[in-house]
Amino acid sequence: MQERFEIALNTPAGQVTSAVDVPTGFVPVSAIVPLTRRLGEEAQALEVARSIESGKAPSCHKGCAACCRMLVPLSAPEAFALRDWVRSRPAEEQDRIARRFSEAKVRLLSHGIWQQLSALSEASLTTDDVALDGVNRMYYVLRLPCPFLEDETCSIYDERPAACRELLVTSPPMHCEDLTKMPIEPVSVPIQVSTVLGLMWQELTNTPTSLIPLPLALEWVERHEEESRRTWKGGELFDQALDKTWRFLSQSFAGGGHDSAK
């Protein structure tokens, strides 16, 4: 069974009003991921509209996959949801996905990056920004395609991580071909969903808030299989997610001089 909630969120670009159906029973944390992503997308749509009004339309389009060679971070709830999706696929597709993840691991190991990413996947979000930037650059230089990239198109578009949904740019597409040399102009992200879900997971489990690099996500979930089976009341999870979202937006307002969020 589900219960419908009417919510309103004030963002720097306007108000998001939405009706969401929340499970009333006990569910795993992955059940809240689609709801949270939806709120993030609706908030970002307002930013996109504001950007277009100012004469800066997003230049991203299908087949433009430079960002699919960047290091994508996932929260623990997103990693569990991704694993669940992979397990729902036909056996042949699961085998193909497993091969791609294995190939990515071999390449990352050969360049000494896998070990650094593995350490990051268990570290707190307080990890030094300089260290993170260094790993990001090393990963980007490899031009390693996402394991879910097929013919320069995302094969899990409807299930893609929040970080992928949030990266939109208004700069020329060619600038994304080499981010180390050419500047990009991203559309503002009012709600960083991976951070919201990561903070929620930290509070629920009293564990460090970490962001899991996508190539390591399936192995990370294997190490945390027991945690993925824990359940909470759907309403409790949704309340937690909203609380973290409101706090995130409040910081945005405080930094930009806007009114506080409702």
- Convert the pLDDT of each residue in 181-191 to its tens digit: 878 899 999 99
What's the rounded mean pLDDT across residues 17-23? 92
Helix-then-strand count for the chain, H and E: 10, 8
Domain ranges of the chain: 2-256
For 195-215, write each residue's pLDDT tens digit: 999 999 999 998 877 789 999
- Amino acid identity, position 166: E
Average model confidence (pLDDT) for the chain? 89
Looking at the predicted structure, is the pLDDT value of residue 81 above 60? yes
pLDDT at position 94 is 97
pTM of the model: 0.91
234 class by beta-carbon count within 10 Å (0-12 exposed, 13-18 middle, 19+ buried): buried
What's the rounded mean pLDDT across residues 92-103? 97
pLDDT at position 134 is 81
pLDDT at position 148 is 96
Looking at the predicted structure, is the pLDDT value of residue 39 above 90? yes
Please report how the helices 129-142 and 114-121 are oriented relative to each other, as an axis angle in degrees rounded to 10. 140
pLDDT at position 258 is 43
Banded model confidence at residue 46, pLDDT cuts 50, 70, 90: very high
For 121-148, write each residue's pLDDT tens digit: 877 665 445 567 788 888 988 999 999 9
Looking at the predicted structure, is the pLDDT value of residue 254 above 80? no
pLDDT at position 233 is 96
Residue 149 CA to residue 180 CA, distance in Å, equals: 22
What's the rounded mean pLDDT across residues 147-176? 92
Percent of the chain with pLDDT over 90: 70
Looking at the predicted structure, is the pLDDT value of residue 257 above 50? no
Residue 185 CA to residue 170 CA, distance in Å, equals: 6
pLDDT at position 137 is 86
- Note whether 40 and 165 are within 8 A (CB): yes
What's the rounded mean pLDDT across residues 35-56? 94
pLDDT at position 187 is 94
For 230-247, write each residue's pLDDT tens digit: 999 999 999 999 999 998
